[in-house]
Amino acid sequence: MMHWFPTPYPDELLYSVLARYHVWSGNTSPKMTVEELFGKRTVRSVWDLPANLNVLLSQLGSYWSDNQLINHHTMYPYYSAFLLPKQAKQVKKSMLNTDGSTIHTRIGVAASNVKVKTNLWVCSDCIKDDMDTYGETYWRRVHQAPGVFICPKHETVLEETNVSVKAQNQHEFVVATPFVERTKVDLKGLNRDEFELLKKVSKATKSLLNNTHLQKTDNTVRNKYLELLKQNGYASVNGFLKRERLYQSFGSKFSERSLELLQSPVFFEETDWLTMIFQKHRKSFHPLRHLLVMMFLETDLDHLFDKKEHGPFGKVPWLCLNLACPNYHKPVVTDLTITRCYDTGKPVGTFRCDCGFVFSRRGPDQNKDDYFRIGTIKEYGHVWKEKLTELVNDGYSLTEIKKEMQVDQATIKKYAAELELKVPWKLPKVQMKNVNELLEDFEAQLNERKNKWVELQVSFPEKSKTELRKLAPDVYAFLYRNDCDWLNEFSPVKKRIQIPNKRVDWEKRDNELLKQVKKVVQIWDKDADKPKKITTASIGKKLNELPLLQKKADKLPKTMEYIDKVSEDTVAFQKRRVEFWFEKLKNENEPILEWQIYRKAGLRPTVSNEVKRLITLRTTEYETVR
Residue 3 scores a pLDDT above 80: no
- Residue 38's pLDDT is 92
Number of residues that make up the chain: 626
- Residue 360's pLDDT is 92
Count of beta carbons in the 10 Å neighbourhood of residue 527: 5
Residue 538 scores a pLDDT above 60: yes
Mean pLDDT of all residues in 211-219:
82
pLDDT band, very low/low/confident/very high, at 496 (cuts 50, 70, 90): low
User: Cα(16)–Cα(22) distance, rounded to whole angstroms?
Assistant: 10
- Residue 443's pLDDT is 78
User: Cα(449)–Cα(487) distance, rounded to whole angstroms?
Assistant: 10
Mean pLDDT of all residues in 131-147:
96
- Residue 596's pLDDT is 79
- Residue 345's pLDDT is 66
- Residue 427's pLDDT is 76
Mean pLDDT of all residues in 336-348:
74
- Residue 215's pLDDT is 85
Q: What is the 3-state secondary structure (H, E, C) of 363-388?
A: CCCCCHHHHHCCCEEEECHHHHHHHH
Q: What is the 3-state secondary structure (H, E, C) of 77-105?
A: HHHHCCCCHHHHHHHHHHHHCCCCCCHHH
Q: Is the pTM of this model over 0.75?
A: no
Residue 464 scores a pLDDT above 90: no
Mean pLDDT of all residues in 294-316:
77
Mean pLDDT of all residues in 542-560:
85
**In the chain, % of residues over pLDDT 70:** 93
Lowest mean pLDDT among 171-185, 336-350, 500-514: 336-350
Lowest mean pLDDT among 338-352, 376-390, 430-444, 541-555: 430-444
- Residue 489's pLDDT is 85
Helix axes 66-73, 53-60, angle to 10 degrees: 120
Give long-range contacts, CB 8 A cutoff, 24+ apart: 325-330: 325/353, 325/355, 325/357, 325/383, 325/384, 327/353, 327/355, 329/372
Mean pLDDT of all residues in 595-620:
83
Q: What is the 3-state secondary structure (H, E, C) of 185-204?
A: CCCCCCCHHHHHHHHHHHHH
Residue 60 scores a pLDDT above 80: yes
Q: What is the DSSP string of 104-134?
A: HHHTTTTT-SSPPPSEEEE-HHHHHHHHHHT
User: Cα(52)–Cα(99) distance, rounded to whole angstroms?
Assistant: 8
- In angstroms and rounded to an integer, the radius of gyration of the C-alpha atoms of the chain is 35
Count of beta carbons in the 10 Å neighbourhood of residue 183: 10
- Residue 317's pLDDT is 87
- Residue 438's pLDDT is 57
Lowest mean pLDDT among 284-288, 432-436, 539-543: 432-436
Residue 315 scores a pLDDT above 50: yes
- Residue 531's pLDDT is 85
Q: Which of 141-155, 454-468, 526-540 has the highest mean pLDDT?
A: 141-155
Q: Which is it for strands 335-340 and 331-333: parallel, antiparallel or unpaired?
A: unpaired
- Residue 439's pLDDT is 65
Mean pLDDT of all residues in 252-263:
92
- Residue 175's pLDDT is 95
| Helix (H) or strand (E) run with residue 356 in it | none
Measuring CA to CA, how many Å separate 387 from each of 60, 192, 355, 377, 415?
Answer: 73, 61, 12, 17, 11
- Eight-class DSSP state of 178: T
**Sign, CA torsion 402/407/411/417:** negative
Residue 343 scores a pLDDT above 70: no
Over residues 370-395, the pLDDT tens digits come to: 889 999 999 999 999 999 999 999 88
User: Cα(331)–Cα(371) distance, rounded to whole angstroms?
Assistant: 10
Over residues 195-212, the pLDDT tens digits come to: 999 999 999 999 999 988
Mean pLDDT of all residues in 332-352:
79
Residue 127 scores a pLDDT above 90: yes
Is residue 196 within 8 Å of residue 223, measured between CB atoms? no
- Residue 112's pLDDT is 85
Mean pLDDT of all residues belonging to the chain: 86
Strand order in the sheet with 119-122: 119-122, 159-164, 182-184
pLDDT band, very low/low/confident/very high, at 304 (cuts 50, 70, 90): confident
- Residue 157's pLDDT is 96
User: Cα(617)–Cα(613) distance, rounded to whole angstroms?
Assistant: 6
Mean pLDDT of all residues in 72-94:
92
- Residue 62's pLDDT is 65
- Residue 499's pLDDT is 47
**In the chain, % of residues over pLDDT 90:** 36
Lowest mean pLDDT among 33-37, 234-238, 434-438, 495-499: 495-499
Is residue 468 within 8 Å of residue 456, measured between CB atoms? yes
- Residue 4's pLDDT is 83
